[in-house]
Amino acid sequence: MTTVEEHRTTVERERHARVADAAYEIRMGVLEQGEAQGEGYVGQALGIADVLAAVYCDKLKYRADDPEWEGRDRFLLSIGHYALASYAALAAAGVIPREELQTYAADGSRLPMSGMKTYTPGMEISGGSLGHGLGQAVGMALGLRVQGRDDQLVYNLLSDGELNEGSTWEAAMSASHWQLGNLIALVDLNGLQADGRTDDVLRLEPQEERWASFGWDVQRVDGNDLEAVLAALDHVTETAAAQGVPKVILCDTRLANGVPVLEAKDKLHFLRVAAEEWPIAKEQLTAGHREAQS
């Protein structure tokens, strides 16, 4: 007979394994899409895979067969170029067929290179012009609350580069002004933007202090440590609407995480990968996942 404590541990272990499997599946989906095009924002997508797995496969309330279900939580991708990560997550969540990932960025595909609401089931906004997501998230969180539906959560995934945009900070200020406890910002801090390291382009630190001074509940985690990500998400969902404080999880991630052959590349903002490297990348990903499981 198992004790309550042992049972809890088993449940946690199973949960962790399930999300780790989803993260693996998302990364594989990212590599498949990258291979289909030969290039892309693969590094960012691999880096954020653990966060997406935790959100889509453990937290988000949705119906895979009815993406427009009114009672769903919202996940807003304002970093449009991370679309391949979102598509892989939507496939892992069963919202789009996994085979469809092969059409990524192809003519006539529902999966354009920059994510758009009008193209893809499960995409909530048309991202890509950076600094737009958090403002829309404020409107959704406020709009849900005014309709008495603030048990529905609004997640916005934004990048560190988007913190350059003034509009992000307008929205950050507004979220705490309106006490939007049903709003969760996930910031991917991978330290790189188009022109170079974020520290060199426009200094962003100290991040915790900046968000805290704007009135947010702040956590900073290793975004590639699944347990840490899950624990942070547990905190925000447990204290969601009632607390009246918007939450941010600052996720330090590593570009191309989980695939050493790609992690070693130096131009990680937009990866170009030789055809013969993709099979190696997939083998490394699978080997790493097996090793972590054992």
| Contact footprint for other proteins (CB under 8 A) | 70, 74, 116-118, 124-126, 128-129, 131-132, 134-144, 146-147, 149, 166-167, 170-171, 173-174, 177-178
Comparing CB distances to other proteins, the nearer of 167 and 284 is 167
- In the complex with other proteins, which residue's Cβ is closer, 127 or 258? 127
Question: In whole angstroms, how close is the CB of 239 to other proteins at the nearest point?
Answer: 22
| Radius of gyration in angstroms for the set of CA atoms belonging to the chain, rounded to a whole number | 18
DSSP 148-207: T-TTS-EEEEEESGGGGSHHHHHHHHHHHHTT-TTEEEEEEE-SEETTEEHHHHS----H
Q: How many CB atoms lie within 10 A of CB 63?
A: 12
CB of residue 232 to other proteins, shortest distance in Å = 24
Smallest separation (angstroms) from other proteins to the CB of 124: 7
Closest C-alpha to 101, from 123, 109, 1, 212: 109
CB of 28 to other proteins, least distance (A): 30
From the CB of 184, what's the least distance to other proteins, in Å? 14
Of 101 and 171, CB closest to other proteins: 171
- Comparing CB distances to other proteins, the nearer of 55 and 138 is 138
Residues 6+ apart with CB under 8 A from 208: 218, 220, 250
Pick 4 or 194: Cβ nearer other proteins:
194
How many angstroms separate the CA atoms of 250 and 218, rounded?
Answer: 7
